[in-house]
Amino acid sequence: PAAGAWLLSELHLKHPKIMVLCGDIKTAENLHGDLRFFESNSKPLYLDPWDTLPFEAVSPQLHITAERIHTLYNLASKQRFICVASVAAMVQMTIPPHFIKELSFNLKCGDTIPRTELLQIFDRNGYQRVSLVEETGQLAVRGGVIDFAPAGSAQAYRLELCDDQIERISLFDVNTQRSVSESNTAEILPVRELLQLSSPGGKALLHDAICKIKNRAAELELLPSETAKITTALSEDLLYPGIELAIAVGLAPLATVFDYLPADTLLVINDRNAIQRVGDEFQQLLCERESRMQNEPLLFPAKEMFFLEPLQLQTHTETYQRCYLNDLTPQAGTETVTPINIRSSSHTALALKLKTKVGSGNALQPLAEALDAWRSKNYNVSFVVGSTERALRLQRMLLSIDWEADIIQGGYTEWRAKRTPHPVAILLGHLSEGAALAEAKLVFIAEHEIFPQRSYRSRRSARPQSLQRLLGSISQLQSGDLIVHEDYGIGRYQGLTNRKVEGVESDFVQIQYADSTLFLPIQNIGRIQKYVTAEDRPPALDRLGSNRWFQVKRKVRQSAVAMAGDLIKLYAARSLARGWRFDPEGAEDERFADEFPFDETPDQLAAIRATLTDMAADKPMDRLVCGDVGFGKTEVALRAAYKCAQHARQTALLVPTTILVEQHKKTFQDRFRDYPVKIGALSRFYKPAQNKQTLEELKDGTLDIVIGTHKLLHRNIQFKDLGLLIIDEEHRFGVKQKERLKQLKRQVDVITLTATPIPRTLHMSLLNLRDISVINTPPLDRHAIMTYLATRDDTLIRDAVLREHRRGGQVFYVHNRVQSIYSVGMELARLIPEVRLEVAHGQMPEQQLEDIMQRFLRHEIDVLVCTTIIESGLDIPNCNTIIIDRADRLGLAQLYQLRGRVGRSDRQAYCYLLAPQAKKLGPDALKRLKVLQAIDDLGAGFNLAIRDLEIRGAGNLLGREQSGNMHAVGYELYTKILREAILSIKGEELELEEYIDPEVNLGVGAYIPESYIPDISERLVLYQRLTAISSSAEALELELEISDRFGNPCPEVVNLIKVMRYRGLLRKHGVTSARLSKQKLTLSLSPLAKIDTAQVLKLIKDAPQRYRLGRDGTLTITLSEQEAESNERLYELTEALLEEIRFQPGR
């Protein structure tokens, strides 16, 4: 594709409008990716095909149809473009161009448009209403603020209206939800390709469409009730999955992509034979699916109403001036046909030579020879890399072989303009592969041809979330959920309610108890937590008028103290042990870090630094690194292993499966290729003689790093000097293996990597008995996995496999019974004869299993029917559909791991959980599957562990008695009590701010009105964040964010921010309540507050009219009128007073 992309960019200098037609989707995607490098200034267009099968009763994803419309609109309206499309994208018919013209709408700052009318425009264009805009095609409305994400823009738009006038248009980042830049205009285009029929054309179009639908339904002999459902949905603008099939019937005749292409477009045919072949295959698929659909009770258009036939596609192409690329058929030139032949060669031989030289001490010799040969022929050479850091690293590498190369920040476009002074250059960008172009005397070398890793994914920077915030997010509360109030016990959450108390309006959390209802002031939301327990039986609700809850807490506290004593002894022994002290992070570590082919995410960097700091301490490290699959945990392990190797000590990496041994071995060898570090592996894949040699090398110290399965835990294995143990997915090992691990852990530094921490591990970590790092930032362009819960159905399975196959991807079909796996494989081969299928399971001979897995990695197999052997760590980015048979028989953590095998690239991934009908499932199994279906968040593995805890039990750490205690008070309160008990035994205590939860009554309405933020979970999140404010700087930052996201805050919200800032001040100084009434401010001080009593008495003595001390320990201050009416004056006065009476040693 790279040579073709270069040629197209040269053609584009002469031809302003170019349309490139490719055969399959993958070729089109690669060519478009390479074009983006060569055409960085002009943003090449890409026409997506739908991500559904022909006539499938599901709707294409919104972002795909939105991007298609955006591309079609640009084809029709731009004077200059270059666009790439596959056959599948071109044959799909679409709405006529005049519809897009009628529906598109331009907005400018200062425009006046009624808000209701503006929202109708968005609705007509098919935008999906959500509370938070995160994806293309979404719309969020919050009072006078309207957020929307159109296609073709890296950022979403935010409109601010005041009295129907657009006051401000800004672009915002969907990750932070904060504005990043201003704009004067915004364009609204349709985001659904086949829109609701009531949109364009009004009633006449709808009436005409319904007539066509009724005629087609009669042809298909559909039941009148089915037809009525469809026509009602269309009349009332109701969306249902696959509605596009009905709209296609109603809008017939549809337009083709060629209706959008100007007559003076140059049509580039990329590989005519491939286009012919793909077109014929697609036609075959259409015929087969159309005949199958005849037996389904569904409305769908005839294939000629919805798709172009190969002959029609050819006829359309012949009306344009054409140019043929990669065409092996001899072609004479005519007025409309230009054959172009340009010789290009790939770098396969060079890549192979570089690979064989790894570890030879002369790894770059083949590259030096190739550069000499190219420059002797006057070729200009460019290396294409993904980031400035890696460009600098490559520059140093080239200097080491006596070649100077300048880094050109502006990429290819800049280099093309000034090639002469830079015959060898490093360009920023991405190419799918390199090429040498003889006639043009040009060489392009892609980064992955020199470095082994896929290195073009950069990572999105996102706010790293704190662990406690990840777990305690109250936004997941649903009405009816059980919650725990620290003082009143277990109740049922009934939502937020607005009430007037003493003439002041405020929001309250409504909690139902056994005998009455509690209305909790929103400022005390920090005192409640969602009730989570390991047991299925729900607890009884507490009574507000009873002291039972006090007794329950006391009993749990006593029990926790006894248990804390045991735990402290266990971990004291470990912290008293003296481990090896590695050097602190230094220049060598930086050099190794430079070679990481991605840009680290903030939380990944934090995990690496924490690990290296632990290793430099003199107590043995025991760190848990938790991060979702593919979020970069392995790199943390690699940096630690390198630190260990610097001290000539050995590293052991323990993994649960033999396949993982191979994958990790390759990763480690690639990363250590330029270092004198010897890496070996130990598993049943290797012959006994090879394993024996590995053991001998471990013993005599020849081997620096060993990667192995549980064989590494055998007692007869001897290390010369083991310094670091890395455990991947500890929960996959058995009880005996874990006991052996415990013994090893006493002596060496340990890192445990996991995507789903088992509850007991999680529990220990949260109690600060074990250090934890959470990597929660997904790689850029990673989509959440679409998860479907369904009963087993041949049509569904065939459709899911073919959809993936059609886009060049691969499929896992998980069947976890070895006895019947071959019959399932044969059944699937009969059902889907078009695909190459193999069976794999753990009881196979090692060599056979290894061979199958390697072939699957090389994409020689399309569908792998396998057991859960694939569960951990496998990295196959091309595999993006997984079907799990009898998913109800698997645990939640296991299902989550399996699902994590797909969705490891920038493609949408699908997971199908096949289970018997709901009524045949146990309640626990059904709950597990529904939880998994609900977790579409990226990085949700961590939250999953909490849910897993809720469903499956708290693990052995607690024992039966402690499980009962946890059930009595809930998981979160139990961990807090246990933490207090541990600190108490250590002679420490919680920070004062953790105890104090001030009540503040300043006589002002302080809450978030529903009209300002309608979404209740959004309000809960903000309330939670506001209650955590501890300084003026935090309050200001949050005020700016609220103002940006939701528009100018109303007086109630401004008051709320001020009250919460005031609470932060009181909490810091140990004040439990503050009440302002008739120019008197009364402060109640906690017995734990560090107050200088002498200073308080001095104040009262010096100004008795101003200060008064109550019998109950309250301090009352008489204020002037100005002080009482100004929030700012009140804050400053209170701050000065509390600072004055604070106990200061030596005063």
Q: What is the mean pLDDT of the chain?
A: 84
Residue bearing tokens 């969602």: 530
Residues 673 and 607 in one domain: yes
For the ranges 372-376, 504-508, 591-595, 796-800, the lowest mean pLDDT is seen at 591-595
Please state whether beta strands 705-708 and 679-682 pair in parallel, antiparallel, or not at all (unpaired). parallel
Of 339, 371, 403, the position where a domain reaches its end is: 339
Considering 221-235, 889-903, 906-920, the range whose residues carry the highest mean pLDDT is 221-235
Residues 353 and 334 in one domain: no
Tokens found for residue 632? 């970069």
Strand, helix or coil at 989?
Answer: coil
Model pLDDT, residue 329: 56
Residues 884 and 911 in one domain: yes
Please state whether beta strands 910-914 and 786-790 pair in parallel, antiparallel, or not at all (unpaired). parallel
Could you list the beta-strand ranges (E) of 791-868.
810-814, 837-840, 863-866
Residues 86 and 142 in one domain: no
Model pLDDT, residue 80: 93
Using one digit for the tens of pLDDT, what is the confidence trace for 229-269? 889 888 888 888 888 999 999 988 999 999 999 999 999 99
Model pLDDT, residue 119: 92
Residue 159 has pLDDT above 50, yes or no: yes
Model pLDDT, residue 17: 95
Model pLDDT, residue 334: 57
Model pLDDT, residue 541: 92
For the ranges 640-644, 834-838, 926-930, the lowest mean pLDDT is seen at 926-930
Using one digit for the tens of pLDDT, what is the confidence trace for 173-226? 887 888 999 999 999 999 998 876 655 556 778 888 899 999 999 999 888 988
Model pLDDT, residue 265: 95
Burial call 925-943: b when 16+ CB within 10 Å, e when fewer? bbbbbebbeebeebbbbbb
Mean per-residue pLDDT, 10-38: 93
User: If pLDDT is split at 50, 70 and 90, which confidence band does 452 have?
Assistant: low
User: If pLDDT is split at 50, 70 and 90, which confidence band does 933 have?
Assistant: low
Residues 322 and 353 in one domain: no
Model pLDDT, residue 462: 39
Q: Is residue 238 included in any domain, yes or no?
A: no
Mean per-residue pLDDT, 359-364: 67
Could you list the beta-strand ranges (E) of 972-1043.
999-1001
Residues 293 and 164 in one domain: no
Model pLDDT, residue 857: 84
Q: Is residue 560 included in any domain, yes or no?
A: no
Residue 962 has pLDDT above 70, yes or no: no
Sign of the C-alpha dihedral, residues 741, 745, 750, 756? positive
pTM of the model: 0.76
Residues 426 and 350 in one domain: yes
User: If pLDDT is split at 50, 70 and 90, which confidence band does 422 have?
Assistant: confident
Of 449, 467, 482, the position where a domain reaches its end is: 449
Residue 456 has pLDDT above 50, yes or no: no
User: If pLDDT is split at 50, 70 and 90, which confidence band does 768 have?
Assistant: low
CATH number of the domain where residue 617 is located? 3.40.50.300
Using one digit for the tens of pLDDT, what is the confidence trace for 258-298? 999 999 999 999 989 999 999 999 999 899 889 888 888 88
Residue 471 has pLDDT above 50, yes or no: no
Strand, helix or coil at 883?
Answer: strand
Model pLDDT, residue 198: 57
Model pLDDT, residue 463: 40
Model pLDDT, residue 671: 87
Which of 1 and 64 is assigned the larger pLDDT? 64
Q: What kind and span of H or E run contains 1003?
A: none
Residues 700 and 828 in one domain: no
Give me the phi and psi of 103, to 5 degrees please. -85, -25
Asked if residue 659 lies in contact with residue 708, where contact means CB atoms within 8 angstroms, the answer is no
Asked if residue 789 lies in contact with residue 807, where contact means CB atoms within 8 angstroms, the answer is no
Residue bearing tokens 């880094």: 407
Mean per-residue pLDDT, 141-163: 90
Model pLDDT, residue 571: 66
Model pLDDT, residue 761: 47
Residue 101 has pLDDT above 70, yes or no: yes
Q: Is residue 1121 included in any domain, yes or no?
A: yes
Indicate the angle between helix axes 633-646 and 658-671, nearest 10 degrees: 60
Residues 914 and 795 in one domain: yes
Model pLDDT, residue 1082: 94
Model pLDDT, residue 202: 63
Q: Is residue 218 included in any domain, yes or no?
A: no
Using one digit for the tens of pLDDT, what is the confidence trace for 808-818? 899 999 999 99
Model pLDDT, residue 410: 83
For the ranges 570-584, 766-780, 862-876, the lowest mean pLDDT is seen at 766-780
> Quick one: CA torsion of 686, 689, 695, 697, rounded to 10 degrees?
-110
For the ranges 350-364, 868-882, 932-946, 1002-1016, the lowest mean pLDDT is seen at 932-946
Please state whether beta strands 337-339 and 321-325 pair in parallel, antiparallel, or not at all (unpaired). parallel
Give the contacts of 51 (CB within 8 A, at least 6 positions apart): 60, 61, 64, 803, 807, 908
> Quick one: CA torsion of 437, 442, 445, 446, rounded to 10 degrees?
-80
Model pLDDT, residue 472: 47
Using one digit for the tens of pLDDT, what is the confidence trace for 497-532? 999 988 889 999 999 999 999 999 998 888 888 886
User: If pLDDT is split at 50, 70 and 90, which confidence band does 467 have?
Assistant: very low
- Of 188, 133, 180, the closest CA to residue 170 belongs to 180
Tokens found for residue 557? 């506290």
Domain count, the chain: 6
Q: Is 1004 exposed, middle or buried (0-12, 13-18, 19+ CB in 10 A)?
A: middle
Mean per-residue pLDDT, 1023-1045: 90
Model pLDDT, residue 943: 53
CATH number of the domain where residue 117 is located? 3.30.2060.10
Residue 535 has pLDDT above 60, yes or no: no
Of 427, 449, 471, the position where a domain reaches its end is: 449
User: If pLDDT is split at 50, 70 and 90, which confidence band does 782 have?
Assistant: low
User: If pLDDT is split at 50, 70 and 90, which confidence band does 956 have?
Assistant: very low
Paired with 1115 in beta bridges are 1083, 1109
Residues 415 and 335 in one domain: no
Model pLDDT, residue 942: 46
Model pLDDT, residue 615: 93
Read off the amino acid at residue 517. Answer: T
Mean per-residue pLDDT, 363-372: 87
Tokens found for residue 131? 């509370």
Tokens found for residue 1069? 């100084």
Model pLDDT, residue 758: 46
- Of 1089, 1082, 1056, 1076, the closest CA to residue 523 belongs to 1056
Instruction: Please report, for residues 380, 402, 439, 459, 560, the alpha-carbon distance to residue 385 in angstroms, rounded to integers and kept in the order given.
Output: 17, 20, 24, 15, 56
Whole domain around residue 832: which residue ranges?
786-937
Using one digit for the tens of pLDDT, what is the confidence trace for 110-127? 999 999 999 999 988 999
Distance of CA 556 to the CA centre of its chain: 38
Q: Is 425 exposed, middle or buried (0-12, 13-18, 19+ CB in 10 A)?
A: buried
Residue bearing tokens 């060993």: 706
Read off the amino acid at residue 438. Answer: A
Cα–Cα distance measured from residue 891 to residue 888, given in angstroms and rounded to the nearest whole number: 8
CATH number of the domain where residue 1085 is located? 3.90.1150.50
Q: What kind and span of H or E run contains 485?
A: strand 482-485
Tokens found for residue 182? 């201003």
Model pLDDT, residue 818: 93
Strand, helix or coil at 103?
Answer: helix
Residue 787 has pLDDT above 70, yes or no: yes
Model pLDDT, residue 216: 93
Model pLDDT, residue 1145: 79
Model pLDDT, residue 186: 93
Residues 117 and 173 in one domain: yes
Model pLDDT, residue 299: 92
Q: Is residue 216 included in any domain, yes or no?
A: no
Give me the phi and psi of 190, to 5 degrees please. -60, 150
Q: Is residue 517 included in any domain, yes or no?
A: no
Q: Give, in degrees to the nearest 5, the angle at Cα 283 between 280 and 289.
A: 145
3-state helix, strand, coil in the chain (%, to 5): 45, 20, 35
What is the number of helices (H) and of strands (E) in the chain? Answer: 40, 43
Strand, helix or coil at 951?
Answer: helix
Percent of the chain exceeding pLDDT 70 equals 86
Using one digit for the tens of pLDDT, what is the confidence trace for 794-812? 888 998 999 899 888 999 9
Model pLDDT, residue 341: 63
Cα–Cα distance measured from residue 145 to residue 161, given in angstroms and rounded to the nearest whole number: 6
Q: Is residue 790 included in any domain, yes or no?
A: yes
Using one digit for the tens of pLDDT, what is the confidence trace for 315-330? 999 999 999 987 655 5
Instruction: Please report, for residues 520, 1009, 1032, 1038, the alpha-carbon distance to residue 1060 in angstroms, rounded to integers and kept in the order given.
Output: 16, 16, 10, 11
Residues 120 and 167 in one domain: yes
Q: Is residue 978 included in any domain, yes or no?
A: no
Residue 862 has pLDDT above 80, yes or no: yes
Burial call 63-86: b when 16+ CB within 10 Å, e when fewer? bbbbbbbbbbbbbeeeeebbbbbb
Model pLDDT, residue 968: 78
